[in-house]
Chains A and B, each alone.
Chain A
Amino acid sequence: MNIEDRNTKYNNYVARISPRTSLFSSIIKAFIVGGLICCIGQAISDLLMLIPDMTIELASSWTSISLIFLASLLTGLGIYEKIGKFAGAGSIVPITGFSNSITSPAIEFKQEGVILGMSAKMFVVAGPVLVNGITASVIIGIIYWLTIVL
């Protein structure tokens, strides 16, 4: 048997016998935690809208800031990682996950110094989201501009 065949056969065998996460229970957990975090966001937004002269855009910004603060604090306290183990996508996907992915390397790499460690490595996990999101928005913006101009 040549090496490629042997490797393919072995990979198929491993895929067959490797344990898999129970899909149903992990979806339920992600669904519940994700939904709850969004509800917390809605509650913050609703509370802010009670303030006179508050616009929906401003409330939205403040809600983001609040959620990011909470997630950052929970990361520092070591609580967010426990939520993450339980909830999977339910804690990674909301904006709180974005905050956790920035705060956690910041804490982790502080040992290598504030400038060269913490500051340099802060976006080691979240970087791709910003790079690709911003680039995509520029492309959309240009396409939109072209539809107006033409």
Chain B
Amino acid sequence: MENKLQNKIANKQKSKPNSMLFKSPPHIIGRYVIVGTKETEGPFKEYFKHSIIEKEFIKLTYEKAECKILEEAIFNAIHNSNLTLSDIDVLLSGDLLNQITSSSFAARKFDTSFVGLYGACSTMAESLAIGACLIDGGYFKRVACSTSSHFATAERQYRAPLELGTPRTPSSQWTVTATACSVLSNSGNGPIITSATFGKVTDFGISDANNMGAAMAPAALTTLVAHFLNTHTKPEDYDLIMTGDLGKLGSDIFVDLMEQEGYKLGQNYTDGGHIMFSINQKTNQGGSGCGCGASLLNSYVLDKIENGTYKKVLFIATGALLNSLTSQQGETIPCIAHSLVIEKGD
């Protein structure tokens, strides 16, 4: 196993997928997270300061509710950055819905350039990585990166009507209701994004749409291995390595796969989906969705970086790129993972 690694480094061949080391790392100067009720009843209740007030949303459709909380997250993140709406040069956002309507419809409220992204649950990392590129490349000064997911909208689109009485399989996960927005800037204080890796589509032949963790773990593997090789780092160099939403089973598989590649992930590794809910919330393998990793990153993780607990964090968000038709047509599930490194700025 060690020889394989050494050979790769010795050959100095750039390992695909491709990574970027930022020369002028952008700062995360503001952020905001809104979660649903179930998320506030889990282990991170003290970190999730804002949640949906059910009474306000009862008259809206699920889709309109998701759009509304995404708007609020973006608006408040900009406000928390001591900026006005017109200070933002471009908004990058994506979500799970067909035609990413939560993001595009929310973007109506913001008089700035909008770039819509689709990476399924990897969207937070995707938007932060692209945002970092735009700033590091000197094109823009301030970029807002956001994503959202909602339990009900995801169930309606991908699975079954909510009132249907069929049990969930043990390998399934619970789509998290959460929206998150980070504001990046070329100046100011705050944690910095120092590198990022754009993943490649990886498909190890899993076709069970109820076992997302197993489908996504190989994508996280290819991205993380490439990231380590391209940045000449190893697991021990990071205070925290966090995958977005592999879930308990998916993260166990991921740790196994990494070990087969010669990397031992220790106590500094965790998975957003696995830790999002407590066992008695009965979510089987844990949380999933764009908002899962995104909400934890923009609350718990960045809090810990700002107060000095974590100095260097590696965040990998994974996404499953299927739709309801592909499953019915017998297709397997291709997945993707994007990663980025966030460090405590000076």
Contacts and interface: CB of A to CB of B under 8 A. Distances in A.
A78 interface: yes
A73 to B, nearest CB: 12
Contacts of B168: 85
B214 A18 contact: yes
Contact of B166 (A6, A78, A84, A108): A84
Contact of A19 (B163, B165, B171, B204): B171
B170 A108 contact: no
B100 interface: no
A5 to B, nearest CB: 10
Nearest to A22: B170
B167 interface: yes
A138 B322 CA distance: 38
B171 A105 contact: no
B249 A81 contact: no
A81 B164 contact: yes
Interface stretch (B15-23, B154-162, B302-310): B154-162
A78 B214 CA distance: 31
B149 interface: no
A89 B165 CA distance: 10
Contacts of B166: 84, 88, 92
B171 A100 contact: no
Interface residues of B, number: 26
Interface string B306-325: 00000000000000000000
B271 to A, nearest CB: 16
Interface stretch (A8-16, A38-46, A54-62, A142-150): A8-16
Contacts of B161: 104-105, 107-109, 124-125
Interface string A62-88: 000000000000011010111111111
B218 interface: yes
Interface string B141-158: 000000000000000100
B156 A108 contact: yes
Contacts of A82: 165
B102 to A, nearest CB: 15
B165 A91 contact: yes
Contact of A81 (B156, B162, B204, B211): B162
A97 B218 CA distance: 38
A78 B62 CA distance: 17
Contacts of B125: none
Given A8-B205, A105-B164, 15 more contacts: A7-B203, A10-B205, A11-B205, A14-B214, A21-B169, A75-B165, A80-B165, A81-B163, A81-B165, A82-B165, A87-B165, A92-B166, A103-B163, A111-B62, A125-B164
Interface of A: 6-8, 10-11, 13-14, 17-21, 75-76, 78, 80-88, 91-92, 97, 100-101, 103-105, 107-109, 111, 124-125
30 contacts: A6-B204, A7-B204, A7-B332, A10-B218, A11-B204, A17-B252, A19-B170, A19-B171, A20-B170, A21-B169, A21-B170, A75-B163, A80-B163, A80-B165, A83-B165, A85-B165, A85-B167, A86-B167, A87-B165, A97-B165, A100-B164, A104-B160, A104-B162, A104-B164, A105-B161, A105-B164, A107-B163, A108-B161, A125-B161, A125-B164
